[in-house]
Every structure is written in C-alpha cells, then in structure tokens.
C-alpha cells in the first residue's frame, strides 16, 4: 500500500492564507453605508443653520463695532442687514438684547433651530451669541 504523503509546508501555507484573509461582509458594508448616509443627511441639514448663525454673529459684531447711539438705531441697522442677507430668517431685530458694558455696546442673541430629519425625528439646536 502506498501512502500519499502531504507536504507539511503546503498545509501550513494554506492555513496561514485562510487566516490572513480579511475584508468586510455584505452585512458590514450595508451597515456602514446606512450609517454614512444618515450622517450625510444630518450634516447636509445642519450646515445651513450653522452658516446662518455665523452670518448673524458677523452682522452683530459689525453693528457693535460701529457703536450706534441708541437702541432703535441698532435694531434699524440689523433690519437693514437682514434685507441684504436673505439667510437670516431665524431671528429678528426684536430678539436682540442690547446693553452697555463699560461704555461698550454689547449685543446678544439666542434662538432655537429645529431641523427635521425623517418623519417624527428632528434635531433641536440652541444657538446663542454676543458681540465681541
């Protein structure tokens, strides 16, 4: 009887090859795809609100640097800026809190922005800022 002898190196090589194979399964690919898509939707819906906040902050800083004499002058300047910047819709001039701190004009504001994501799911972002 002839016995067939297997080569020990061949067996060892095939076992190492099977262990070294790595990758992602179809379930893993779908999971990460759904997660990335959801994250993309959230980012796409939040970015406009962040840009609006920075626009409001820039306008408030510019108005405070000009140091208008009266509160109605501050509100009128903000309304003028709102007519130019169409992205500022979440806040009005009446929402500004105007005060003087050591003869320096301080303008602060706060507002909530609700971003609808899907169906009954929404994201509430609370923005607040003040002049520098």
Q: How many CB atoms lie within 10 A of CB 103?
A: 6
pLDDT reported for residue 62? 95
Query: CA-to-CA distance for 132 and 101, rounded, in angstroms?
Result: 12
Extents of the domains making up the chain: 27-130
pLDDT reported for residue 18? 57
pLDDT reported for residue 124? 97
Contact, 96 vs 109, CB < 8 A? yes
Query: CA-to-CA distance for 62 and 56, rounded, in angstroms?
Result: 10
Contact, 126 vs 58, CB < 8 A? no
pLDDT reported for residue 2? 60
Q: What is the pTM of this model?
A: 0.77
pLDDT reported for residue 16? 55
Contact, 108 vs 95, CB < 8 A? no
Query: In a structure prediction context, what are the per-residue pLDDT tens digits for the chain, which is 132 residues long?
Result: 566 665 655 555 555 555 666 888 999 999 999 999 999 999 999 999 999 999 999 999 999 999 888 899 999 999 999 999 888 999 999 999 999 888 889 999 999 999 998 899 999 999 999 998
């Amino acid at each position: 009887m002839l016995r067939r002898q297997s080569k020990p190196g061949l067996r060892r090589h095939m076992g190492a090859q099977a262990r070294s194979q790595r990758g992602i399964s179809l379930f893993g690919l779908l999971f990460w795809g759904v997660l990335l898509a959801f994250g993309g939707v959230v980012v796409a819906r939040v970015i406009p609100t962040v840009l609006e906040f920075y626009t409001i902050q820039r306008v408030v800083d510019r108005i405070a640097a000009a140091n208008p004499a009266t509160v109605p002058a501050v509100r009128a300047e903000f309304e003028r800026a709102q007519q130019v910047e169409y992205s500022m819709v979440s806040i009005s001039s009446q929402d500004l809190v105007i005060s003087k701190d050591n003869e320096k004009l301080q303008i602060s504001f706060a507002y909530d922005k609700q971003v609808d994501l899907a169906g009954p799911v929404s994201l509430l972002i609370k923005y607040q800022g003040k002049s520098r």
